[in-house]
Structure 1
Amino acid sequence: MNGKDIRKNLCDLHFNLFCLGQIFFEFSNILFAVVLTISVYRVTQSGYSISTLMFIKYLPVILLGPIAGVFVDRYKKYKLMTLCLAIFIVILILIHLTINLFEIYIFLFIYMVMFTLYKPARYVCVPVIVQNKKLLIAANSILMCAEEATGIFGSLIVSVYESKNTSSTLFSMLPIVSMCIALPITYMALKKKENDLYKNRNNSEISDDTSKQKIDFGKSIKELVIGWKYFKQNKALFPLAIIVSITWLGIGSFTSIHLIYIVKYLKIHDYYYGYVASILSIGSILGYILCPILVDKLNINKYKIWALGFLIAAFSIVMAIYTNGFYYFVFVLLLFSISTGCANTVEESLEQELPIEEHRGKVISFISTIGTIGFLVGTVGAPFLTDYINIRYILIISAASCFVVSALIRKNYLKRVSDKLFIKN
């Protein structure tokens, strides 16, 4: 498929609105996340506090991730996402009104409970809007670029604001305002498209009104078990989940220590953390743009790109071990984020492409849950260990994880891609 066909198919009002809604959501989310991380570290000055924050943040994904997929498959995605966005707004307002760290942790936990439902719904919506599987990599590239560009903007705003060390009610309200804008845009982007899709397919399994349908937990558990059997027996999906878990172990352990690394080892002020987040986002955008060019224009096997991306990421982390200056660290971050951005574009497209529609939400939730376990181990363990061991040992673990991922991709995908049963089963 050439570039003109891709542009023609992706210049769709609903897809553009969906991207716009995700931009406002991501802007709110990045402001909330970066400010919260900096604030907690300033109060405690300990890697343990960052570990606690990460544990609270990702525990709901592990506990509730699988069952979230059942609801994503059963109910209309646009209603689930708008419900989540509405609850996000309430939680952000409550956090805005409190200064108690314990209360913030509680609100963060509730926020992530809803995010556990929001995330798989967001992924499933892409193939709902873009129904041509050949366009999924390009569509995900555009969407991920938009989200990362928003992340850059949000991170820079935080860094500039924090560097001035001023208090502004207007700034603290930005996440709430942005989330309020995201809600109606997301609703408009998905409602007609999803209704038309399921109307044409006459899909009686999708509830038209989530408020009138009672939640049958027995049926939900049964659907969960059926989905798990499909997922476990699939030759392509279960290895994908293991790969994602190890991937996020490495990425999580590397990215979670950036704040500690620049403060303790590079001797730079903590507000540079926002700049670091921006650099990672810039590199990720370049990776997202590069991936469809390599796959669609140069016809390079996407599994090779996937494996090579994590191999380069591993080498970049090894380079970080010998980093002494901030600018060299910036180069390492760019190399790391470009390679992982390219690889993650392939991985995200596979999550949407490989499962059948009946189980897509559950499969994405399973993969997300298993991946989050690895990410949680990395993001909780790495900052915690910085209080006891040299940070360079943590970087070695991160690099080793990326090497293992690259090897697993070669073993489980590159050598079996010609097997038709590998994709169909």
Structure 2
Amino acid sequence: MLIFKSLSSANYRFFFTGQAFSNLGNMMKQVAVGWLVYRLTGSALLLGLVSFSREISAFLLSTVAGVLADRYNKHRLLMVCQSIIAINAIILAILTISNTINFQTLLILEIVFGLVSGMEMPSRHAFVNDLVENKTYLTNAIALNSSLFNTARIVGPALAGILIPIIGEGYCFLLYAGASVAVVVIFTFIRYQPSGKKNPRKKFGKELQEGAAFAIKTRHIRFLILFVAGVTLIGVSYMVILPVVAAEVFLGDAVIFGYMTSAVGIGSLLGAFFVGARNNVVGLDKLILLGTVIFGLGLAVFSFSTILWVSLLALVTTGLGRVIIFTGSNTLLQTIAPEEKRGRVLSFYIMLFMGALSLGSFLIGLLTDWIGAPFTLLIGSIGVLLMGGYYARSLPLLRKRTYRAIKKSELLR
């Protein structure tokens, strides 16, 4: 099948398998953390604070991590980071099962997780390009990664929603810890040979400055990065308050919350398959605009719906739209960024994404406490649609500059 063509690379298969365990465990953990925080505190603001702290921690390290991704062995960096994540998961499981967990400790563990995630994300994203031997499969590999993530977004929350009432959050964290250890083991089978191309080694600060200057001065790259950050800040943080919607709008429990998160995952999976079936990057810029409109409209319907099945369908639509935005943007950036700067370009993309997500998570929690979830979500949907209008107006210039860069990249065949 076309969607699986990038799995012809053995190293990418091991990477893909490791990511399967990582994503599934992480999605279970996120649902369990969200429900645990809300059970312990009953506060939407503190829900937003946990997400803010985790994402802002990733934001703080992501730029530095981009220099490391360009300078050092990505495989080794990922092994170290995944090992720390596994240890963090084990501690979280032990404390929760022993009933000694509290909000402050949970917040610290999530901050540590965010710091390590920020360190490993640029290497993980850039690593895909290194592992896929046939570069014409790059778009497929990125989309396949997205489909994997969003399959986990369906299965993980559904499992967590079923298991939390039966075994509690602690044993969900234990399953997550086991998955994290499995990632480390699987990654040891990757036989990675870094590129023989040697770039002149400069001071760390100089390399960081060069990467920032390139991302900021290259107009089409700057536009894509800022657009994704804007959509994330305004709209994507809605995931943080799903426990509030489940509990207050539908008077439900973790099962309803799991249904909602899984609905987002179903839509995201559909979007990933749709993008992954493409043979090259031509037309991705238009597809990003379509995804923005779909996402904004889906969020608008979800904001005022009080019927569960309508809300779930709206969440499927939001998942479809946002994965088209993110997969399309990620693919374009990886295609047009030069190899020697790819890690740093992706790090700035991730940095602004995580910064926008962290700030958006805090603001949406604050707004929800003030004006309620429905009005907060409606404001987000209007903002996303306005961003879509801005993107549409800028599209002709973006297409011209992007395709010029693609032709130079020698990846479009």
TM-score normalised per structure 2: 0.90
Query: How high is the sequence identity, in percent, across the aligned residues?
Result: 21
Match of 1:253 among 228, 231, 237: 237
1:9, 1:308 → 2: CA distance? 26
One-letter amino acid matched to 1:267: L
1:402 matches 2:384: yes
How far does residue 131 in structure 1 lie from its aligned partner after superposition? 4.7
Match of 2:40 among 30, 37, 43: 43
> 1:179 is matched with which residue?
180
Look up the match of 1:215.
none
Tell me: CA distance 1:300–1:312, structure 2 relative to 1, closer, same or farther (3 Å).
farther
SS at match of 2:399: coil
Amino acid paired to 1:296 = N
User: Hey, what's the Cα distance between the residues in 2 that align with 1:335 and 1:163?
Assistant: 28
Distance 1:161 1:42 in 2: 16
Q: Using a 3 Å threshold, how does the CA distance of structure 1 residues 225 and 283 change in structure 2: closer, same or farther? A: same
Deviations 1:329-388 (A, max 9, x none): 011011111122223221121221121111111111111111222222221111221111
- Runs of at least 5 residues in structure 2 that lack an aligned partner in the other structure: 96-100
Deviation at 1:292, TM superposition (A): 3.3
Which deviations, in whole Å up to 9, do the C-alpha atoms of 1:201-258 show, x marking residues without a partner?
Answer: 342669xxxxxxxxxxx92111101111111111211111110111211333322221
Which aligned pairs between 1:179-258 and structure 2 lie closer than 5 A?
179-189=180-190, 192-193=191-192, 195=193, 197-198=194-195, 201-203=196-198, 219-258=203-242
> 2:320 aligns to what?
338
Quote the Cα distance in structure 2 between the aligned partners of 1:267 and 1:50: 18
Give the whole-Å Cα distance in 2 for the aligned partners of 1:147 and 1:343.
15
d(CA) in 2 for partners of 1:407, 1:171: 42
Give the distance between the partners of 1:132 and 1:246, measured in 2 at CA. Answer: 33
- Matched ranges for 1:297-308 at <5 A: 301-308=283-290
Provide the TM-score with structure 1 as the length reference. 0.88
Q: How many residues align?
A: 402
User: Relative to 1, partners in 2 of residues 1:278 and 1:9: Cα closer, same or farther, differing over 3 Å?
Assistant: closer
The 1:65/1:9 distance shift into structure 2, 3 A limit, reads closer
Alignment CA distance shift 1:383-1:171 (3 Å): closer
Q: Is the 8 A contact 2:336 2:405 kept in 1?
A: no
Distance (Å, rounded) in 1 between the aligned partners of 2:398 and 2:324 = 21
Q: Residues 53, 7 of structure 1: CA spacing in aligned structure 2 closer, same or farther, 3 A cutoff? A: closer
Pair 219,151 (structure 1): closer, same or farther in 2 beyond 3 Å = same
Is contact 1:79–1:187 with CA below 8 Å preserved after alignment? no
Q: Distance in 2 between matches of 1:254 and 1:388?
A: 15
Deviations 1:166-201 (A, max 9, x none): 448754421111111111212322xx23x1x42xx3
Task: Give a deviation string over 1:75-105, Cα, whole Å, max 9, x none.
Answer: 1111000000111111112222321321221
Is this contact kept in 1: 2:154–2:263, CA < 8 A?
yes
Matched residue, 1:118: 120
Find 1:296's aligned residue among 266, 279, 287: 279
5 Å-filtered alignment, 1:75-90, equals 75-90=72-87
Pick aligned residue for 1:92 from 89, 94, 119: 89
1:1-12 correspondence runs (5 A): 10-12=7-9
- Cα distance in 2 between the residues matched to 1:319 and 1:154: 25
Residue 263 (str. 1) matches residue 247 (str. 2): yes
Distance 1:187-1:330 versus aligned 2 partners, 3 A rule: same
Q: CA RMSD in A?
A: 2.4
8 A Cα contact 1:72 1:361, kept in partner: yes
